Amino acid sequence: MYRLISNDLPRSRILGALLVLLVLALALTPFLFPGVKALNVAAKILVFIVLVGSFDLLLGYTGIVSFAHTMFFGIGAYGIAIAVTRLGPGWGAIAIGSGAALALSGTLALLIGLFSLRVRAIFFAMITLAVATAFLTLAAQLHEITGGEDGLTFKVPELLSPSFELSDTPLLGASLDGRLVCYYLLFVVASVLFLAMLRVVNSPFGRVLQAIRENEFRAEAIGYRVVVYRTTSAILSALFATLAGAMLALWLRYTGPDISLSFEVMMDVLLIVVIGGMGTLYGAILGSVLFLVAQSYLQDLLRWASEASSALPWLAALLSPDRWLLWLGLLFVLSVYYFPSGVVGKLRAHKVLQA
């Protein structure tokens, strides 16, 4: 197991315990928290762990700011949707769609890297933003291929369909159907991809990326071809993001510009990276759980608090569920203020201070 996680242990007992607890909770979510909403939130967390981890590979480990990350995420989702829509709901169509999406993402990442990574960071960020915006507009206009603004709804293989039943008898309150199979497929894929990213950042290649992040000119002076390493990092990050998009499409059985290509998704990814901790990868797990649970359940919590404080009208109005975005924003501001290096960075720093 030590070699499996690339000799990169959490380096904090509290962090290690949290990670084990969260992974177990995700593995047992269908049985611990029966219900459609809890399963949807857990599935989205698995998708975002891969998506945020892939962006952290680019931003946290290589120091590249890119706003085109959701473009690759959308390519993965649309690759599955278009292939299944055209070829039928089979595993072969899923394989073809995933392969085509990976090939397109890799090619685009290579072109963007070769033409843009030689410029200064701010100009590269603006170029990627322009490319992502153009791709979003293209996806919305090519109605015959992408479904336009309405997106594409499609069927999945029967084994992953909610209508498929493994057993008529529920287990611990969870229905043994295709939805459960699809969830555990996402869990396995997310686990494999996360371990693969962990291996990448802790390999000699990953060490060079971190050296480039710290001092690009020094890394180039000692013989490393910075553009090659940064372009390779951009390609790997794009491929992982593409697979995250494919995971989301399989779960939702739908894809559209709003859920896979929008700038809001990019902002969510940025927030999660900052909350979890840049350059850690483990932050992708903690940040995704904290962000998506808060986003999904804060409204319910505020509704309960508002009803409980009905005797104080001003407090009930302040805690109204309609103001959940206000409280969500406040929580994020406080988290950034008290955890400037992210949750993972704070926990590791606490371990060092204790030592």
Whether residue 54 lies inside any domain: the answer is yes
Q: What confidence score (pLDDT) does residue 41 get?
A: 94
Gap between the terminal Cα atoms of the chain:
25
> What CA–CA distance (Å, rounded) separates 135 from 77?
14
State how many domains the chain has.
1
pLDDT-flagged residues of the chain (< 70)? 1-11, 116-121, 170, 172-173, 350-355
Whether residue 334 lies inside any domain: the answer is yes
Whether residue 71 lies inside any domain: the answer is yes
Q: What confidence score (pLDDT) does residue 52 get?
A: 95
Whether residue 66 lies inside any domain: the answer is yes
Is the separation of the CB atoms in 16 and 10 below 8 Å?
yes
* Domain harbouring 266, CATH code: 1.10.3470
33 φ/ψ angles, rounded to the nearest 5 degrees: -130, 70
Q: What confidence score (pLDDT) does residue 244 get?
A: 96
Q: What confidence score (pLDDT) does residue 83 get?
A: 94
Q: What confidence score (pLDDT) does residue 2 get?
A: 42
State which residues form the domain around 183: 13-354
Whether residue 106 lies inside any domain: the answer is yes
Across the chain, mean pLDDT equals 85
Q: What confidence score (pLDDT) does residue 27 get?
A: 92
Q: What confidence score (pLDDT) does residue 130 get?
A: 87
Q: What confidence score (pLDDT) does residue 51 get?
A: 96
List C-alpha distances in Å: 46 to 26, 42, 52, 324, 344.
Answer: 8, 6, 10, 24, 18
Q: What confidence score (pLDDT) does residue 294 get?
A: 86
Q: Would you tell me how many other CB atoms lie within 10 Å of the CB of residue 4?
A: 9
> What CA–CA distance (Å, rounded) separates 306 from 301?
9
Whether residue 2 lies inside any domain: the answer is no
Q: What confidence score (pLDDT) does residue 6 get?
A: 54
Whether residue 34 lies inside any domain: the answer is yes
Prediction pTM value: 0.91
Whether residue 6 lies inside any domain: the answer is no
Tally: H helices and E strands in the chain: 16, 2
